[in-house]
Structure 1
Amino acid sequence: MDLSEQPEIVQQAFAFVLQGWDLAKGWLLSPAAWSQFAILILAYLLAVLISRKLKPSLTRLFTPADDQGNIFATARRFILIFLPLIMPLLAYGLTGLGESITRSIFGSGEVIAFGKRIFLFLAARIFVTDIIKDGFLKLLGKFVLVPVAALNAVGLLELATTRLDAMVVPLGNLSFSLLFAIRFAVVGGIIFWFGRWSNDQSSTFISKQEEMRPATRELASKAAEIAIFGAAVLFLMNIMGISLTSLAVLGGAIGVGLGFGLQKIASNFISGVILLLEGQATVGDYVELDGGEAGTIVKMTARAAILETYDGRWIVVPNEDFITTRVVNYSDSGSANRYEAPFSVSYDTDINLVPGIVEAAVAKHSEVLSDPYPPDCELRSFGDSGVNFAVEFWVNGIDDGRHKFTSDVLFLVWNALKENNIEIPYPQRVVELKGEIRTTSQ
């Protein structure tokens, strides 16, 4: 068949087909090839049989009790994840034994070597589909590991890498091969995934250190994050053979960018570091800013603080606002706050008895503190309808959301006044009529 007028890719594809056909005919007509096929089938059947016998025993051996959470139990659970790989890896090992036998007898082992690569491909596919749970790693395995294993199985991996290495991508004064770009993306993705995982583990560990102040924990978490990803960048550049001296140019460009377009980001980042160092506002504090934003700080990032209001909304406040504006920190994480509950009594009341009655009633509330001050009932004014009082009390936390301190205290005041027959007045008016009142008869 004359394909000289066809495109080069068609000619190459046809050449590969011819090579595969010649190889298949050689295998079909060779006694050594038939023996290797038999060994492959035998290795596969033995691997299936052994794996079926081993899996239940290994599952019982490595399954810890549900209430165990130590490092050994975690390691045993981790080993259980890889049990689906037993069959293809056993087949690969048994095939390797068969390959050594056929090469010693027939002096060849191409068929059985092809079978070994097939079993590796099956192991890679099982690893991606059944073992990997992380979305990014599963995506990487699906589009990188499995295709590489498939190319290796059919013997085209070396040819594919050679072609990719020969394809040069120009980028200004720089140029790199397509193979280098793929390796850079894969290695970089794995390194930064590992960096993200390490950062999650370190953040979880630091958050459990109750003896540390919340601000110190946040600062330690951010420092660990910066250190981990900084090391990841340097490690990636070192692996890919990129000179670290080239960072000087990049650092200069970043410095210019910070000086012009990124100064707000830099300001917020530095403000965040200052907040974490000073600890004047940290996670768990209830704060109110000059701009009217108010809520509990639930998260502090490198750029902003996240406030959660009592109606469930999240407000993103730049860190710079905590430094440059007035911030009222009610410190919902433990400091005491003072509130007052106003009320009135009738003018017919002996007002000298009111403070003692009300203070004793309010002191019974489980959340009202006696330190720094016990409940204090004060006479405020003589109103139009009654005598106005207010009881001041101290509590831990904010009188909002899940806490209803003022409401509870007013209930206590109402009940105490009722028990002592003290009337709570309502507005009364005296109407004076002047002149003669005339009536009309029907």
Structure 2
Amino acid sequence: MFEFDTADLPPFVQTLLDYAEQGKDLALGWLLSPAAWSQFALLVAAYLAARFVAKRFVPKLEGLLLPPKEAGGIIAEARRFVTIFFPLSLALLAYLFTGIGESVTRSLFGSGAVIALGKRVFLLLAAQALVKTIIKDSFLKLLGKYVLLPAMVLYVLGLLGPVEAKLAATEIGAGNIRFSLMSLVRGLIAGAVLFWLGRWSTGQSRQYIGKQEELRPATRELAMKAAEIFIFGASFLLLMNIMGINLSTLAVLGGAIGVGLGFGLQKIASNFISGVILLLEGQATVGDYVELDGGEAGTIVKMTARAAILETYDGKWIVVPNEDFITTRVVNYSDSGSANRYEAPFSVSYDTDINKVPEIIEEAVGKLDFVLTEPDGPDCELRGFGDSGVDFCVEFWVNGIDDGKNKFTPYVLFAIWNALKAHDIEIPYPHRVVEIKGQGRLENL
């Protein structure tokens, strides 16, 4: 056999070899110990008992807890939430029964190392089932796969404590801030979980606040923003506490951020304050159709801390900074069920008795189901005498915007055309008199 001096190996390899040697000695000791074999037998018995209970009673309990599909409410949702953890029943029951067996073996033999290892293995199986079967969110599944399961493997092997101690003993720092690697790892894990919880909580709060129809749209949007700021602010403070960072050490960083806001980030700060003003005053909110001085026009579909998102009728999204709503002229058509007035121009021939035209057109346009009678019904007015005919225009009120999916004016023009044709009123077209020199006559074209 070849022999080599382990002193020449790196410290990390030496540590692994020491653990391997300890594991070999422990395994040989268990193989030759009657107490270890009895504990192994208890492990098998605990697993069989857990399998029997999980197969016989758990389905019945699940049937009792699971509410009907049409059932709603908090209690029904809570019952459904509990039932999604039933795939863990086998591993958790085995863990419970093994714990009972461990107390028995320790009282009889004074030791229970084998059964304690088995209990940790069952807990690892429960964690594996949780990540594989129950967790559906992609982020949480990734976190469980690369954080929870490796930590559980170290726990089963009894290496979790030494690894934590090594990470806690290793410190890193940046200026006045110093923290251990354990704090960094804990902060990364806690930060990922808190960010996910914050995002989930924000979505839930937005859904709940959005259903409060007794509040004005601007008030609802402001409440959503306030809830979002509160949730992520609380998450940040909690994360700093978990990492063990004193918030007073962040004073220099806060001063640097203040200087940045005064120079490079002043536009962002201006847009944020403008967004708060818009939400407080309610001059423009989600659902309104607006047109800005720069020509941007569309329905506000979302208002963020920095900008408002306008959706045009051809499906494009326009990002407009909140500051533009404060510093420029904005036309708000208030497309949330409000009435707007539009005009439809037309002309009739000079041979027409124009005194009859207003009555004919107002009656025809008034029959259209989308034309309102309040605040005013259709109003046909004489506008002038053109080159080819007499110019009229009919004004009408409708709910909404005359664009996109609601094209009101074309239907009004069709009604005008049909009404004029029904009364034999001619719609003129341009006439020109052309003189051809040398021919001595005029051609009327």
TM bin (shorter chain) = over 0.9
Match for residue 211 of structure 1 among 205, 211, 214:
214
Residue of structure 1 in register with 2:131 after alignment: 128
Trace 1:165-314 onto structure 2 (pairs within 5 A): 165-314=168-317
Residue 428 of structure 1: CA displacement? 2.9
Matched, 1:90 2:93: yes
Match for residue 349 of structure 2 among 346, 358, 361:
346
Residue 376 of structure 1: CA displacement? 0.6
Residue 234 of structure 1: CA displacement? 2.1
**Residue 70 of structure 2 aligns to a residue in which SS?**
coil
Which amino acid is 1:343 matched to? Answer: F
Residue 430 of structure 1: CA displacement? 4.1
Whole-Å Cα distance in 2 between the matches of residues 3 and 435 of structure 1?
Answer: 122
Change in CA separation of 1:125 and 1:436 when aligned onto 2, cut-off 3 Å: closer
Between stretches 45-54 and 405-414, larger displacement belongs to 45-54
Residue 62 of structure 1: CA displacement? 2.1
Which amino acid is 1:128 matched to? Answer: V
Whole-Å Cα distance in 2 between the matches of residues 197 and 241 of structure 1?
Answer: 25
Match for residue 426 of structure 1 among 426, 429, 437:
429
Matched, 1:100 2:103: yes
Matched, 1:362 2:365: yes
Whole-Å Cα distance in 1 between the matches of residues 21 and 169 of structure 2?
Answer: 25
Match for residue 144 of structure 2 among 131, 136, 141:
141
Whole-Å Cα distance in 1 between the matches of residues 436 and 61 of structure 2?
Answer: 101
- How well do the aligned residues superpose, as a CA RMSD in angstroms? 1.7
Whole-Å Cα distance in 1 between the matches of residues 11 and 435 of structure 2?
Answer: 114
Matched, 1:404 2:374: no
What is the CA deviation profile of residues 239-258 of structure 1, one whole-angstrom value per residue up to 9, with x for unaligned ones? 43333333433332221111
Between stretches 109-118 and 156-165, larger displacement belongs to 156-165
What is the CA deviation profile of residues 369-423 of structure 1, one whole-angstrom value per residue up to 9, with x for unaligned ones? 1122211111122222222211111112111011011011111111111222222
Change in CA separation of 1:45 and 1:386 when aligned onto 2, cut-off 3 Å: same
Q: What TM-score do the two structures reach when normalised by structure 1?
A: 0.95
**Residue 309 of structure 2 aligns to a residue in which SS?**
strand
**Residue 297 of structure 1 aligns to a residue in which SS?**
strand
Which amino acid is 1:302 matched to? Answer: A
Between stretches 162-171 and 144-153, larger displacement belongs to 162-171
Whole-Å Cα distance in 1 between the matches of residues 343 and 214 of structure 2?
Answer: 34
Which amino acid is 2:7 matched to? Answer: S
Match for residue 38 of structure 1 among 37, 41, 45:
41
Q: What TM-score do the two structures reach when normalised by structure 2?
A: 0.94
Which amino acid is 2:59 matched to? Answer: P
Residue of structure 2 in register with 1:50 after alignment: 53
Given that residues 344 and 393 in structure 2 are in contact (C-alpha distance below 8 angstroms), is that contact kept between their aligned partners in structure 1?
yes
What is the CA deviation profile of residues 331-378 of structure 1, one whole-angstrom value per residue up to 9, with x for unaligned ones? 111222111011111222211111001001111112211122211111
Percent identity reads 68
Between stretches 133-142 and 275-284, larger displacement belongs to 133-142
Residue 429 of structure 1: CA displacement? 3.3
**Residue 9 of structure 2 aligns to a residue in which SS?**
coil
Residue of structure 2 in register with 1:15 after alignment: 18
Residue 104 of structure 1: CA displacement? 1.7
Matched, 1:119 2:122: yes
Residue 212 of structure 1: CA displacement? 0.8
